[in-house]
Chains A and B, each alone.
Chain A
Amino acid sequence: MPIFFQVIANGLVTFAIYVLVAGGISFLYAATRIFHLANGVVVLGAGYVFWWAWVWLGWHPAAAVVFSLVISSAVGLLMNEFVYEPLRRRGTKGLGYLIATLALLIFGTAVVMALFGAQPRTFDFQTASLVFGGVYMTVFQLWALMISILLLIVFFWIIRFTRFGKALRATADNETVAEVLGVDTKMLRRWAFLLASLFAAVGGILNGLEFNLDPNMGLIFAVRGFTAAVIGGVGSFGGAVIGSALVSFLEQAIVWFLGAGWRNAIVFILLFFFLLLRPGGIFGSKN
């Protein structure tokens, strides 16, 4: 039984990080019809910029966090402005964006690898361990979980109760009608990218502190993010949360019982069956 609870506890930690990435991918798809896999680059870049400012330059960690968030959201906004918007003006649909986002993802990974090297980078950072009835969690892990849940609440509030959220939901429903009714969809997309990039950047910083940095993380986060988003139902807030939880707990169970080598493969087999049997995801429509 303690093993079961330990798997749940480990799953909660990865959940806290995945949901920030998956949530961004999911609601960006609803708002813009783009599968923004390059959000993985934002996760990756945020971690490395934070590492560079804190460990390399020796800044105060709070300043490093702010710096990392600014750079990462700038990267997200630039990707929208100089890649997706020109494609949109030409009337591109699904697969055109998909090639572009893949190219961005790989390009971002290559840039990080060129600047920081292929070897993992570590933080000299440790917090005390707490034991709850045989289950170990560190103080940092609890903090990560709280920060993530707090951001989710803020996010939910923005979507539900602000003018921006209302415009966003209208655009997701029908872009043309929203535009006719006076929504500035171009500006809206900018805000959507800003929000998704900020979330992904927080995820990237938390991930760096918990699991170290590795240039391949961009791709890994992109695929975890879209897997969680698709399993939950793309475009649904609850779906991204449930999807991330499912992927995180499944992953931790696999790591515990089968070994880490099978983690990606089995998560993908789950995605495979979802797409075949219920392509709309848990919260989506049947088709």
Chain B
Amino acid sequence: MGYFIYLVTLIAIYMMVIISYAVPVGWTGLLTLGHISLLAVGAYTAAILMTHGVSFWFGLLAAALAAGGVSFLLALTARRIKEDYFTLITIGFIFVVNAIIVNWTSVTKGPFGITGIERPSGFEDPFSFMALTVLALLITAFFLQRVVNSPFGRALESVRDDDLVAESLGKPVAKLRIVSLVTSGVFVGGAGAFVAAFLQFINAQVFWLDNVIFILAAIVVGGLASFRGAIVGTLVLYLIFEPLRFLPFPPGLIGSLRLGTFSLLLLLVVIFRPKGIMGRAQLGE
């Protein structure tokens, strides 16, 4: 039962990240890899505040604002440059955030990470924290669903399909890109606060490549520009990987097995079924 509660909480947090990630990638067609670092910005903001006596709720708000702000700076570059260069910039962004976390030891505790993060008061036991996380996921899903099904969402899709046509029809392409990245950044930052409170310990390793490839594979396997696709993708990847944990592999091999499974799956989907399980779009058509 304890394992079940743990798993539901973990998947709920991942889904919060993944459905937020699906908006700029699936709907707007911006292949960012930097969301894992926005998650780090949110988690660290919340963790630093909470270990200095600030409540979870205020930490959550600050995490969302901080990640939204950083996302805005990153989005400014998406206005001017070619789309594949934007992806390269976001890879660079992962390295920059990682270097700040590891080297700015007076604030982030460097490689040791931040320990002793507490659960929000009133939600200390695993079950009620799980309920809170699922509630947060539902709120996120409800809001983002409304956003992408609005005329605004369709404008985003026109940017993905052909930004020149969108521009000539009078859509503010640069602004749409920025708004979609910042909206998504705010929710990912909020999810970061949940990561911090859930794990109660964070370090740079949590926000490194394993999770970059995981969230990318989840939305591509599930299918782009589809909410159900993102959710199904997350579940499929979990169900493929989770049993591996119970097989008698040496612990050193589990990490590379995880990376290898996700990246191979991503590769196979890109080659043989570019729209994923139930996607409505594919990148680079």
Contact = CB atoms under 8 A, between A and B. Distances in A.
A binds B: yes
Interface of A: 35, 83, 86-87, 90-100, 102-104, 106-107, 109-111, 113-114, 117-118, 219, 223, 226-227, 230, 259, 261-262, 264-265, 268-269, 271-272, 275-276, 279
B259 interface: yes
Contacts of A114: 253, 256-257, 260
B255 A261 contact: no
Interface stretch (B9-17, B44-52, B113-121, B277-285): B277-285
B282 A96 contact: yes
Contacts of A97: 284
A109 B253 CA distance: 13
Interface in B54-92: 77, 80-85, 87-89, 91-92
A95 B263 contact: no
A106 B209 contact: yes
B85 A110 contact: no
Given A99-B283, A276-B77, A113 B259 contact: yes
Interface residues of B, number: 47
B85 A103 contact: no
B213 interface: yes
B231 interface: no
A264 B138 CA distance: 38
Contacts of A219: 209
Nearest to A270: B92
Interface of B: 29, 31, 33, 77, 80-85, 87-89, 91-93, 95-96, 98-100, 102-103, 209, 213, 216-217, 220, 252-253, 255-257, 259-260, 262-264, 266-267, 270-271, 274, 282-285
Pick the 4 closest A-B CB pairs, nearest first.
Answer: A96-B284, A268-B92, A110-B260, A265-B99
Nearest to B103: A261
Given A268-B95, A279-B81, A96 B274 contact: yes
Given A103-B270, A106-B213, A93 B284 contact: yes
Contact of B256 (A87, A99, A118, A227): A118
